[in-house]
Amino acid sequence: MWFKEEHEIVIHAPREAVWAAFQDFASWPTWSSHIKEVSRLDRAWRFRARAQPPVDLIWVVEAVRREAPEYLAFQSVADAPHNLILRGWVRITQEADFTRLHLELEGKPHYESPWLGRAADWYAATFGEPNKVVKLTFEQFKHHLERQHAPQAAVTPATQP
């Protein structure tokens, strides 16, 4: 069963910084409570995320179209071991005083065992809330970036009595 998610956030940081942080996949586990591990595999990236115990979600994606610093389309690598198939894109646009990140993705569980595949479909349909996970992850991304790019408070010398 395919799910489709769309999410848009406004980030108070320059577009180039948002683009750089989005593509710094190796750092995602440092600011995301769901992403446990990210590693490089040849031309792709392998993500491992927290799911319902005892299962972690694993997906391997590669860029299929990149237009820095604005657009990145991605899809799963078919021959890589994974239990989640994903495809989608992200667009990052600079507005007057903020950056807008728009993400669209589609995915579905993928297991070697047909029984596990049916169980995953049922579980996702009954209890799964991928939109909440996507929303939380990108809210954490926004917080991470805005903390790094917050305007510095004006420093004034202490007044002497």
Sign of torsion, CA 103 106 109 111? Answer: negative
Q: Which of 100, 110, 92, 104 is nearest to 23 (CA)?
A: 92
- Is the model more confident about 49 or about 115? 49
Nearest Cα to Cα of residue 71 among 98, 87, 93:
93
Q: Is the pLDDT of residue 15 over 80?
A: yes
pTM of the full structure: 0.83
- Would you say residue 159 has pLDDT above 60? no
pLDDT digits (tens, 9 = 90+) for 51-101: 766 678 899 999 999 999 999 999 999 999 988 899 999 999 999 999 999
Residue 154 has pLDDT above 50, yes or no: no
pLDDT at residue number 156: 47
Contact 134, 24 (CB under 8 A): no
Task: Find which of 73-82, 118-127, 150-159 is predicted with most confidence, using mean pLDDT.
Answer: 73-82
Q: Go through the domains of the chain in sequence order and give each one's CATH number.
A: 3-148 (3.30.530.20)
**Mean pLDDT value across residues 34-38:** 94
Residue whose tokens read 């169980």: 119
